[in-house]
Amino acid sequence: MISFILISIILILLAAYFIVPTLLKPNYIFSDEYDDLNVSIAKDRLKEIKLQRESGEITEDTFQQLHDELETVLALDISNVNQTQPTNKQNLAPKMKPITAIFIALTIPVVAAGTYSQLGNIDAAAGNVVEATQQAQVTAAAAKSDAPQMTMDEAVAGLEKRMQEEPDNADGWFMLARSYMSIKKYDKAKIAYEKTIAIVGDNPELLLRYVDAVAMTEGGSLAGKAKPILDKVIKAIPNNPMVLWLSGTAESQLGNHKKALSLWYKLIPVLADKPKEQAQLKDLISQAESKLTSAEVAELKQSVDMQAATKPTVTSPVISSNVGINVSVSLDPTLKDKVSDDDVLFVFAKALTGPPMPLAAVKKTVADLPLVVTLNDAMAMMPQMKLSNFAQVKLSAVISKSGTPGKKAGDLYVDVFPVDVKTKDEIILIINQVK
């Protein structure tokens, strides 16, 4: 019994040592402010897997899989739209007075000892202290493992709800479509891509993703409803490797083996540094060539080589990688009463008819206004979606009452377009409209 009492005293002192200082500190209520951290991590991870792909550590398929997983994680964040960002005053809860903390620390063991002396068995307890401690650890671990976590289906459901409230949010529709593709809900992905296209237009890269969704609704066939879409894409970006691959597959599925080979032959030099993809391509070419005579194959190869030799070099309007647009942002004085210093401010650039995702973006607060920021390639989320890949863009500044991207009812904003990415002038954005 004496051993039990000594152990109890030691445990009480240890508990007081840890609990009392905590009770005396101010308490902070958790707030959801990890958006910038998530974006930064995603950008770093994209750079990392790109380097791994270029060095040959991972294949193109592995790179695409890791890339899609990053977008899926971002979809989980976007779905959490009901969270608002409290102010610093809301985060800070009043701290407990010292006398209250000391009273609690002393009262609990005294009450516990008195109760146990009346109801408990001290001798039995002395022999079970270690066992009880181990059981408590097991119980805590089990409780932690049982903590509810948001599933992908729940995240998609949250994003679906958001899109009902924000039907004009192209970013949201695009992310929802990618999320549907990841969980194999191809019919819904097709509809979500159609919503995105209706907002941003027939962007070739977006149409290419749409082709994938349409094909999957027909068991992976590119020769059905996906074919006319693919024909439109290849006219816009005729030398894109993925377009050549898919267009060749579509022609092959239709039995147009000559047309398929004319597209696939162009891909051979492009995939020279990708042995796995080139092996797959050569297998497809071999199957198509087996449907033709040797003379037809030789004539076709000569024709394709002649086209390649005489075809003029096409240069895309790629701007210098040192592109940077200086943007001055301010708020119309007549709207000051509609915002608070803690409201989130987004300043970003998007392609005029391109992908729905921002090419460059900055996140600030109303307290930072007026301000001058520089939008540049370093802010790109994806290497192929940066300012220097476009000739003109649309600049926007949005004060978000919810703290999340995308214009919603009650948000204040301004849009300016078109803006030449090579401009040396400072672009002035005065936020003067209410959604």
Q: Are residues 259 and 287 in the same domain?
A: yes
258: domain CATH number is 1.25.40.10
Q: Check which CATH number belongs to the domain holding 366 and give it.
A: 2.60.40
In this structure, the answer to whether residues 15 and 122 fall within a common structural domain is yes
The 10s digit of each residue's pLDDT in 384-405 is: 678 888 888 899 999 998 887 7
One domain, residues 134 and 201: no
Percent of the chain with pLDDT over 70: 62
What is the total residue count of the chain?
Answer: 435
Average pLDDT over residues 212-230: 92
Boundary of a domain, candidates 49, 73, 90: 90
Residue 102 lies in a domain: yes
**Contact between residue 250 and residue 227 where contact means Cβ atoms under 8 Å apart:** yes
Question: Residue with structure tokens 């929802």?
Answer: 176
Rounded Cα distance between 280 and 272, Å, is 12
pLDDT digits (tens, 9 = 90+) for 242-278: 888 899 999 999 999 999 998 998 888 888 778 888 8
Integer Cα distance of 259 and 300 in angstroms: 9
Residues 6 or more apart from 416 whose CB is under 8 A from it?
Answer: 394, 395, 396, 427, 429
Show the domain range for 45. 35-90
- For residue 25, what is the DSSP state? S
| Beta bridge pairs of residue 373 | 327
Q: Which region among 231-235, 281-285, 320-324 has the lowest average model confidence (pLDDT)?
A: 320-324
188-206, pLDDT tens digit by residue? Answer: 999 999 998 888 787 787 8
Shared domain for 174 and 195, answered yes or no, is: yes
259 with 335, same domain: the answer is no
Please give the tally of structural domains in the chain. 4
> Which among 91, 90, 80 has a CA at the least distance from the CA of 34?
80
Q: What is the mean pLDDT of residues 133-146?
A: 46
Question: In terms of domains, do 172 and 114 share one?
Answer: no
Q: 221 near 257, Cβ under 8 Å?
A: no
**Per-residue confidence (pLDDT) for residue 73, from 0 to 100:** 55
Based on the fold, state whether residues 79 and 100 are members of the same structural domain: no
Domain closes at, from 283, 310, 337: 310
Q: How confident is the model at residue 324 (pLDDT cuts 50, 70, 90)?
A: confident
Nearest to 173 by CA among 152, 207, 199: 199
